[in-house]
A and B are shown apart, each in its own frame.
Chain A
Amino acid sequence: MLKKLKKAALARSLWIYHVAASPCNNCDIEILDLLTPRFDVERFGLLLAASPRHADLLLVTGMVNKKVLDRVLRVYAQIPKPCVVAAVGSCAISGDLFVDSYNFAGPLDKHIPVDVYIGGCPPKPEAMILGVMRAIEKLKKLKDL
């Protein structure tokens, strides 16, 4: 009973924490765009959280560089588990054209487990909504809450 409630509560209204791990800003602006009237993801109960400790979904954008990596790991450690991590944009997924950069610390999934990959440079807001929906599905399927 409690488990069911927990699951419903978690999957019904995801709180998002957004980490800009050395992006070009574009994915970040598109994420903010999601909250504005045209796309309005708040209708799915999604809200931007002010602290990682309140978040269920971590959105990471950008190619993770060496300086920011430590902070990303710390933010991830602060999020109550279970949580879903989404890599937004080609940079977070693979490094994109920054693979050759001397400051590139490797793709995001090398450092923290990633559940959803949202590709594109930048991903269209529609793609991001789809990705978040996938994340919710994934949370619903989790057995060991």
Chain B
Amino acid sequence: MAALERKVIPIGPFHPLQEEAEYFKLTVEGEKVVGLDIQLGYMHRGHEKICEGKTYDQIPFVVERICGICSTSHPFACVQAIEDAAGIEIPPRAAYIRTIVGELERIHSHLLWVGLAGHFLGYNTVWMWAWKYRESVLEISELITGNRNHYAMFKPGGVRRDIEGGMIPPLLQVLDDADKKILMLTKAVLDDPVLHKRLEGVGVLTPEMAVEYSVVGPTARASGLAIDVRKDDPHAAYDWIEWEEIVLHEGDVFAKAKVRLLECLESTKIIRQCVQKLKDLPEGEIDAHMERGPDGEGIGRYEAPRGEVFHYVKGDGSLYPSRYKIRAPSSMNIKSNEVAVLGGSVADAAITLAAVDPCYCCTERIAAFNTKGKLLYTWDDLVKLSQEKTARMGGGS
């Protein structure tokens, strides 16, 4: 057979498929994807530098706006970093409230992904369903925090608002409903023969590759790596309650979807236990006041819906930090696309690229933003990767 001509399909920077601006260059031979070039940098806003000009009380608001979907994960890691540097213990009630808000965010973020994945596959019903159920979670967040996203709940030393007694019955009601709907969605996804065919064995990330690319979050947990900051380095209320870490071994898109859906159910479990514990704690004790800026370094980690968020802060005793550093989960996960997408068909590329739940807003803090996109791999590397993959599958040459 004559060799097929190599063609490049540009996806982006503005593409109807994607929410955010990013640029993928898919190289194809006929239907088969043989190369992927990722160019980022359309979302760079300079958060770290802005943080250095804000006081410790203001920084949670800045890092909250790194990403609208993980808008609790970043402040979560941020306040932990500041508390670590300042050596503050937060009151237990604040820890439970933080956990509740964090898990509410996880539910809505995972449902959002499930909906978008359905949309990419042509199952618009799944999109509409998942987003309809997500809406009730957003509403309860609005009731508790005052906003649908960007909750502004966290401050160094505690939380800004208390969860009052009157908020608990509607919260439990929403959890009950969400449980039912997520179970229904999970069953619908797991029983659908077309989805099995479409997602099983697609975009496989082997455990070795997962380690190689240092992927985190559901992407890693779907490839058999049991990594979860909530278990490995427990903070807030995570080690005071019972919950399970979901780990699957297939590594394909189907496993990634399953991990996310099952995690939603774990999240409702966590929130229920936290609410139960809140009842025994006196209302109003939510803030251990931070008197002055920390002098020294601190780190904070949190398991965002997409993986581990890492914040580092260095203070010099003044009101402002002298250095602020952020690492978001997608910066590792996106690169794993390079192996996941190779060798598949163009039709599978969209769902594979989306399977890591990439969040470019989170990621783009690299300094080389103005070089018009950095080439992550040369063409030869990609060809090599592609051939390796073919060889792994028992074909090639």
A-side residues, CB < 8 A to B, are 19-30, 32-33, 36-38, 48-52, 62-63, 65-68, 71, 75, 96-98, 100-104, 121-122, 124
- B301 at interface (Cβ–Cβ under 8 A)? no
Closest to A49 in B: B16
Given A36-B127, A63-B45, A124-B148, are A25 and B20 also a contact pair (CB < 8 Å)?
yes
Cβ of A37: which chain B residues have Cβ within 8 Å of it?
A: 128, 131-132
Q: Which residues of A contact B62 (CB under 8 A)?
A: 97
Contact between A24 and B66, CB atoms less than 8 A apart:
yes
Q: Which residues of A contact B45 (CB under 8 A)?
A: 22, 63, 65, 98, 101, 103-104
Give min CB distance, A31 to chain B, whole Å: 9
CB-based contact B65/A97 at 8 Å: yes
Among the 9-residue stretches B36-44, B224-232, B267-275, B339-347, the one with 4 or more Cβ atoms under 8 Å from chain A is B36-44
**Complex CA–CA separation, A124 to B46 (angstroms):** 26
Residue B304 interfacial (CB < 8 Å): no
- Kindly list chain A residues whose C-beta atoms are within 8 Å of the C-beta of B20: 20, 23, 25, 28
Q: Are B21 and A24 in contact (CB under 8 A)?
A: no
Contact A122 B19, beta carbon cutoff 8 Å? no
Neighbour of A22 across the interface among B16, B44, B68, B370, CB < 8 A:
B44
Q: Contact check, A68 vs B21: say whether CB atoms are below 8 A apart.
A: yes
Query: What separation, in Å, do the CA atoms of A62 and B131 have in the docked complex?
Result: 23
Nearest CB in chain B to that of A97: its residue: B62
The 8 closest A-B pairs by CB, nearest first: A26-B68, A36-B131, A50-B16, A25-B68, A101-B46, A38-B135, A24-B68, A25-B361
- State the majority secondary structure of interface residues on B: loop
Q: Which residue of A lies closest to B119 (CB)?
A: A32
Tell me the B54-109 residues at the A interface (CB within 8 Å). 61-62, 65-69, 71
Q: Is the pair A36, B13 in contact by a Cβ cutoff of 8 Å?
A: no
Q: Which residues of B contact A100 (CB under 8 A)?
A: 50, 53
Residues of A within 8 A of B44 (CB): 22, 65, 67, 103
Asked if B150 is an interface residue, CB under 8 A from chain A, the answer is: yes
Some 19 contacts from A to B, beta carbons below 8 A apart, are: A22-B45, A23-B20, A23-B43, A23-B68, A24-B361, A25-B67, A26-B68, A28-B20, A36-B115, A51-B16, A62-B43, A66-B370, A67-B44, A68-B13, A75-B14, A98-B46, A100-B53, A101-B50, A124-B148
- A68 lies within 8 A of B16 (CB): no
Q: Which residue of B lies closest to A101 (CB)?
A: B46
Cα distance A144–B69 in the bound complex, in angstroms:
42
Q: Check B19–A32 contact: CB distance below 8 A.
A: yes
Q: State whether A29 touches B68 (Cβ < 8 A).
A: yes
The reply to whether A36 and B361 form a contact with Cβ atoms under 8 Å apart is no
Residues of chain B within 8 A (CB-CB) of A38 are 131-132, 135
- A105 CB to nearest B CB, Å: 11
Q: Is B19 a contact partner of A20 (Cβ separation < 8 A)?
A: yes
Instruction: Name the B residues within 8 Å of A96 (CB-CB).
Output: 65
Chain A residues within 8 Å of B131, by CB: 32-33, 36-38
B-chain residues with CB within 8 Å of residue A51 when the two chains form the complex: 16
B359 within 8 A of A: yes
Q: Which residues of B contact A104 (CB under 8 A)?
A: 45-46
Rounded to whole angstroms, the CA-CA distance of A50 and B53 in the bound complex is 40
A122 and B369 contact, Cβ closer than 8 Å, known pairs A26-B149, A67-B42, A67-B44: no
Closest-by-CB residue of B relative to A96 is: B65
Residues of A within 8 A of B144 (CB): none
Residues on A with beta carbons closer than 8 Å to the beta carbon of B127: 36
Residues of A within 8 A of B16 (CB): 48-51
* CA distance in complex: A26, B67 (Å): 7
Question: Hey, which chain A residues are within 8 Å of B171, CB to CB?
Answer: none
Contact at B19–A29, with CB atoms within 8 Å? Answer: yes
A97 adjacent to B21 (CB under 8 Å): no
Which residues of B sit under 8 angstroms from A121, Cβ to Cβ? 65, 150
Tell yes or no: B49 within 8 A of A by CB: yes
Partner of B14, one of A20, A29, A102, A103: A20
Given contacts A71-B14, A124-B148, contact A28 B68 (CB under 8 A): yes
CA distance A132 to B135 in the complex (A): 21
CB distance from A98 to the nearest CB of B (A): 5
Which of A21, A22, A25, A71 has most chain B Cβ within 10 Å? A25
Residue of A nearest to B361 (CB): A25
